Structure 1
Amino acid sequence: MEKSWWKESVVYQIYPRSFNDSNGDGIGDLKGITNKLDYLKELGIDVIWLSPVYQSPNDDNGYDISDYRAIMDEFGTMADFDELLSEMHQRGMKLMMDLVVNHTSDEHEWFKQARSSKDNPYRDYYYWRPGKNGQEPNNWESVFSGSAWEYDEKTEEYYLHLFSKKQPDLNWENRKVREEVYETMKFWLDKGIDGFRMDVINFISKVPGLPNGEKILGKKYVSGANFYMNGPKIHEYLQEMNQEVLAKYDIMTVGEMPGVDVEMAKQYTGENRNELNMVFQFEHVDLDSGPKGKWDLKDLNFHDFKASFTKWQKGLEGVGWNSLYLNNHDQPRMVSRFGDDKEYWKESAKMLATFLHFLQGTPYIYQGEELGMTNVRFDSIDDYKDIEILNMYKEKIGESDSDHQQIMESIYVKGRDNARTPMQWNDENHGGFTSGTPWIKVNPNYKEINAKQQLTDEDSIFHYYKKLIQLRKQHDIIVYGTYDLILPDHNEIFAYTRTLGEEKLLIILNFSKENSFFELPKEIQFSNKELLISNYEVNPTDSIEKITLLPFEARVYKLFI
């Protein structure tokens, strides 16, 4: 397997709006991030992924871009950005930016021109269609609820928006659109950034004719999704992008790809395919969704969870590369979702971190994850800011079988604002995030969960993450070793090995809040062992053939053959 710096890196995602506010306006900004770089350096971070900071009307918190080459006023200036990049590089950290090119804002100059008249040269930068008998051009639904079409009075046609109506989809069939995107990418790469995370990049190729969609695709996706996810020209576009831009720089790339499976991921990430380094797939974060999708809550099946991770680990082995994540700006907090954020908060946060960081792939830490930040339960729907939450609430509250409390329960469990509450720096007002009024309320548990407290506590979640990252830098096997699941039928324990040449690691994880019995399979032979890390006090000389694991216990052993 080819060695690469991006395989060996640990990535930290910053959601700028909620990270650190330097000027007291209640909104995180670029200077606020610069002020906290030493914190990230101490943690051991190699790469920072910055969610969008471009000029935007903020309909979808920066994922609706009105100018790809300008910085959002609320976040600062281009000089602030240049300073941030320089300070990162001085500390040996790299910067990966968000690339959002499936759609623009409706306030982007291209779209303003496009909607001005049917014969404007920019008209074909987007998808415009006449209606059918007074109806939308097809039955596609927006990911954010409702129709994916918006009627434009002036030109009497509809435009396509797979997300908010203020996020019209770009027409990648138009060569000029692709050239504009590549020039924008070069603008940032020539500034010295180190890569791109590409937002819903597998949506950019639509099936010609935009036919009516099936209502349900794999029981998870909205109508029409089978005609724009992983579309007919997606590989052609990504290979062209690689040839025109990516191959000319030493950078890392990751594509966000809903609806991608292992076989598709092999094509997107294959080392000789000249497309992307890795993808964000959604299989494991869809496991607790019912037949009606994300808001239809169901309990996670632990065996499905194990099978999913194992399928991806083995499927991409020696072919492509995995991204490793359990939460991000679009997902709820992982300790609340996969662990126990009450009685075993610290233990389960450390166990989940151990699980993720010992898999093969590049780990992504979402801001506050290293502190064990949790989901939030705001009292009122008025406290929520996310367009997806608010649209869903408006739609559901009108259905006769939906009541307010049931909808709120779905939001508490799955809402994107769980990840967007401000970073909890200390136990002072608003968690030290701002001296003003925060744009969204801080989680009330900031007095107990905050960076200041954890930096001084050697047993904290922060220090555990720091140790995990150090181990990764010390042991090639953690990056490059092959993965093999053991005890696949165990109801509480996720155990696996990593193997590189003569070296072997044994990772044992109790995903339960009960004690659980582990017995080492006989085929795993060893002469000696070393305990690398654990989240409880463990006697390193104790036998590992038979162990009773405590709730959410994690242990990693290096085995000597």
Structure 2
Amino acid sequence: MTTPPSEPSHRWWKEATGYQIYPASFKDSNGDGWGDINGITASLDYLVALGVDFIWISPVYESPDHDMGYDISDYEAISPKYGSMADMDRLLAEAKRRGLRVLMDLVVNHTSHKHAWFRSSRASRHNQHSDCAWTYVPERDQYYFHLCFPEQPDLNWEVPAARRAIYASAVGFWLEKGVDGFRIDLVNAYAKNQAFPDAPVSDPSSEAQPPPLGWIWNGAGMHAWLKEQRAEAVDIYGPDKVLIGELPVTPRDEVLRYVAPDAHELDATIDFSLFTAGNDGWTPRLHELRPHTLPQLKRAIARTQSLVAGAAGWTTTFLENHDGARSVDHFGPGDGSYGATAAKLLALLTTTLSGTLIIYQGQEIGMTNVPADAWKAEDIRDQVALRYLREIDETHPDDEALKQAAFEAVLRLGRDNTRTPMQWTADGPHAGFSSEAATPWMRVNPNYARINVADQERSPGSVLAFWKAAVAHRKAHARLFVHGEYQVVDEENERIYTYWKKSASGSEMALVVLNFSSEKVDMPLFVEEERTSLRFLVSTGGSEQLDAIIAPLEPWEGRVFLKP
């Protein structure tokens, strides 16, 4: 059940713990190799036991699946791969019965090229849907714009009739059914530069050139349209509907324009700064992305935390989602060592940062990236990764070193890492995700024999057990860990990550000390000076309360202390 708010002004979604479900890979209930809605329903009790208050379900809408459901052909229908609308209604009812809220993915920057809006649009320039979206269409002798794949034409938000159709079909239909809100995909990309100028040449080796950020992101109409959507399609269902928006490449001050309470646009942001730490931004050329240092990660997290205390905004705290690598590999040692230990440390980091906590499926058991020594090109399912590898092969056919570097980058950073099937048991060939006779849509990570839910539920020292405890501590000390002010200590330290959390009144404080290295290190000296005022709360390494303040930190160990 949702934790009662610490103060009357705190909305339910601030102190709630979320859990993102990638349906294709979560749980297959009918043995067809594809995760489904009934598999989610059957797992709700597991999520309640973890401490989850709401689930965010990635797309289950009707779709030709050129981009795993993010190309929607009917917002008001369920893809047969996932089940039926009756299955969805049952999931909503069963979730409500357990006190769980449900958020859907809202993808309205673009549709599928199979959507009725686009199909009718391409027939004639004068069709009533011809302004709803924009590769070349012979029937109209025009081109249409697509930020993503050609199969994902962008919707034209400039047209009022298009916006009203979106509000009715993609938003209102689901709020009528009782969903509690949406995580919104690419929410700051609706307002394109309407002059459609040619992009300057920044990469002569590429046929296509990236447009300047201002031509795509955070355009002139964005804030007005989101206010309109809120007023016309969301607030009419009451004040408890939540909108959490994905805001790529957006400066902090601009983010606050979206999430400030008086903006009436979004309730929280999903900030990807920590995933591009050490780089100027994200690039689809994954081999060009540099690994981050710990100080760089600290600065990225500080940006996200600055949206909360004193800024009147709100953010989310998360280390994984369906679009990147597993956290234990990306933020942990990355060499296969200290896997469970690092997973616990990252749980401690995530659950002590301010904002709405979102756990990604499998993160709570320490699921890892795909094994680089056993994953082949034919195992890759992500269309973005396949396009990237194909472009490298076509533009550099004789550069074997570059092609190998690109493939290794996909295995290290690619989206398939978080899309392998959920590892429920050590039994059978498919980790309990599907029946033994099935052929899963994607290969199961072979380490399921040692990393799985069933074994960890029986082990009090497991990653899963630690996550449950960490979530409970977060809820018990919400003023500190959910709402508290974040103050980093010794930002340039390359091994230890230390920060204070302070309640708004200043009467409560917590000290978090995390060893982000594979070596034993001494506790920071100032902690010894604070010894008499600190009270031990939790450690990833099971340190005894009496010596936790002064004992050296083991590799990838974290500790939390309270200061009354």
Is the contact made by 1:266 and 1:316 (CA closer than 8 Å) also made in structure 2?
no
Between the aligned partners of 2:66 and 2:227, the Cα distance in structure 1 is 31
Is the contact made by 2:245 and 2:270 (CA closer than 8 Å) also made in structure 1?
yes
* CA positional deviation for 1:526: 7.0
* CA positional deviation for 1:379: 3.3
Is the contact made by 1:290 and 1:298 (CA closer than 8 Å) also made in structure 2?
no
- The gaps in structure 2 that reach 5 residues or longer are 1-6, 204-208
| CA shift in 2, pair 1:272/1:102, >3 Å | same
Instruction: Give per-residue Cα distances to partners, 1:265-324, cap 9 Å, x unaligned.
Output: 111111111111111122211125578824013221221111121132134423101111
- The answer as to 2:220 corresponding to 1:235 is no
Query: Aligned with 2:309: secondary structure?
Result: coil
Look up the match of 2:206. Answer: none
Report which stretch shifted further, 374-383 or 434-443.
374-383
Query: Aligned with 2:131: secondary structure?
Result: helix
Between the aligned partners of 1:98 and 1:38, the Cα distance in structure 2 is 22
- The answer as to 2:562 corresponding to 1:558 is yes
Task: Give the 5 Å matches for 1:296-311.
Answer: 296-311=288-303
Look up the match of 1:268. Answer: 258
Look up the match of 2:328. Answer: 335
* CA positional deviation for 1:371: 0.7
Look up the match of 2:34. Answer: 27
Look up the match of 1:389. Answer: 385
| CA shift in 2, pair 1:161/1:190, >3 Å | same
| CA shift in 2, pair 1:523/1:121, >3 Å | farther
TM-score of the two chains, using structure 1 as the length reference: 0.92
Look up the match of 1:503. Answer: 508
Is the contact made by 1:327 and 1:334 (CA closer than 8 Å) also made in structure 2?
yes
Is the contact made by 1:212 and 1:224 (CA closer than 8 Å) also made in structure 2?
no
Is the contact made by 1:13 and 1:365 (CA closer than 8 Å) also made in structure 2?
yes
User: Which residue of the other structure, out of 127, 131, 156, is the alignment partner of 1:171?
Assistant: 156
* CA positional deviation for 1:154: 2.3
Task: Give the 5 Å matches for 1:51-66.
Answer: 51-66=58-73
Instruction: Give per-residue Cα distances to partners, 1:332-381, cap 9 Å, x unaligned.
Output: 10001111352200110010111111011111111000010000035322
Instruction: Give per-residue Cα distances to partners, 1:201-230, cap 9 Å, x unaligned.
Output: 11011122122234569xxx9334430111
User: Which residue of the other structure, out of 301, 319, 323, is the alignment partner of 2:316?
Assistant: 323
Instruction: Give per-residue Cα distances to partners, 1:450-502, cap 9 Å, x unaligned.
Output: 10111100111111111111112211322222111112221211111111131
Is the contact made by 1:375 and 1:418 (CA closer than 8 Å) also made in structure 2?
yes
Between the aligned partners of 2:282 and 2:96, the Cα distance in structure 1 is 45
Is the contact made by 2:54 and 2:103 (CA closer than 8 Å) also made in structure 1?
yes
- The answer as to 2:121 corresponding to 1:114 is yes
Task: Give the 5 Å matches for 1:345-360.
Answer: 345-360=339-354
User: Which residue of the other structure, out of 152, 172, 186, is the alignment partner of 1:186?
Assistant: 172
Query: Aligned with 1:480: secondary structure?
Result: coil
Look up the match of 2:3. Answer: none
Is the contact made by 2:511 and 2:560 (CA closer than 8 Å) also made in structure 1?
yes
Look up the match of 2:483. Answer: 480
- The answer as to 2:554 corresponding to 1:516 is no
For residue 520 of structure 2, what is the amino acid of its counterpart?
N
For residue 498 of structure 1, what is the amino acid of its counterpart?
K
| CA shift in 2, pair 1:224/1:371, >3 Å | same
Is the contact made by 2:307 and 2:314 (CA closer than 8 Å) also made in structure 1?
no
Between the aligned partners of 1:215 and 1:413, the Cα distance in structure 2 is 30
| CA shift in 2, pair 1:258/1:337, >3 Å | same
Is the contact made by 1:54 and 1:65 (CA closer than 8 Å) also made in structure 2?
yes
* CA positional deviation for 1:524: 7.8
Look up the match of 1:133. Answer: none
User: Which residue of the other structure, out of 466, 481, 492, is the alignment partner of 2:495?
Assistant: 492
Look up the match of 2:376. Answer: 380
For residue 27 of structure 1, what is the amino acid of its counterpart?
W
- The answer as to 2:211 corresponding to 1:223 is yes
For residue 174 of structure 2, what is the amino acid of its counterpart?
W
Alpha-carbon RMSD: 1.9
User: Which residue of the other structure, out of 155, 160, 170, is the alignment partner of 2:140?
Assistant: 155
Is the contact made by 1:49 and 1:95 (CA closer than 8 Å) also made in structure 2?
yes
* CA positional deviation for 1:244: 1.1
Look up the match of 1:3. Answer: 10
Report which stretch shifted further, 407-416 or 472-481.
472-481
Is the contact made by 1:215 and 1:224 (CA closer than 8 Å) also made in structure 2?
no
TM-score of the two chains, using structure 2 as the length reference: 0.91
* CA positional deviation for 1:532: 1.6
Between the aligned partners of 1:70 and 1:522, the Cα distance in structure 2 is 57
Instruction: Give per-residue Cα distances to partners, 1:53-77, cap 9 Å, x unaligned.
Output: 1000001000000000000011000
Identity of aligned residues (%): 39
User: Which residue of the other structure, out of 192, 199, 206, is the alignment partner of 1:206?
Assistant: 192
Instruction: Give per-residue Cα distances to partners, 1:29-83, cap 9 Å, x unaligned.
Output: 0001111111111101001000001000001000000000000011000000000
| CA shift in 2, pair 1:456/1:103, >3 Å | same
For residue 431 of structure 1, what is the amino acid of its counterpart?
A
User: Which residue of the other structure, out of 284, 287, 294, is the alignment partner of 2:277?
Assistant: 287
Task: Give the 5 Å matches for 1:17-96.
Answer: 17-96=24-103
Query: Aligned with 1:163: secondary structure?
Result: coil
Between the aligned partners of 1:543 and 1:40, the Cα distance in structure 2 is 31
* CA positional deviation for 1:246: 2.5
Is the contact made by 1:213 and 1:226 (CA closer than 8 Å) also made in structure 2?
no
- The gaps in structure 1 that reach 5 residues or longer are 128-149
- The answer as to 2:540 corresponding to 1:548 is no
Query: Aligned with 2:105: secondary structure?
Result: strand
- The answer as to 2:253 corresponding to 1:259 is no
Look up the match of 1:536. Answer: 541
Between the aligned partners of 1:425 and 1:495, the Cα distance in structure 2 is 34
Between the aligned partners of 2:166 and 2:180, the Cα distance in structure 1 is 17
Is the contact made by 2:339 and 2:366 (CA closer than 8 Å) also made in structure 1?
yes
Between the aligned partners of 1:151 and 1:252, the Cα distance in structure 2 is 38
For residue 91 of structure 1, what is the amino acid of its counterpart?
R
Between the aligned partners of 1:315 and 1:28, the Cα distance in structure 2 is 36
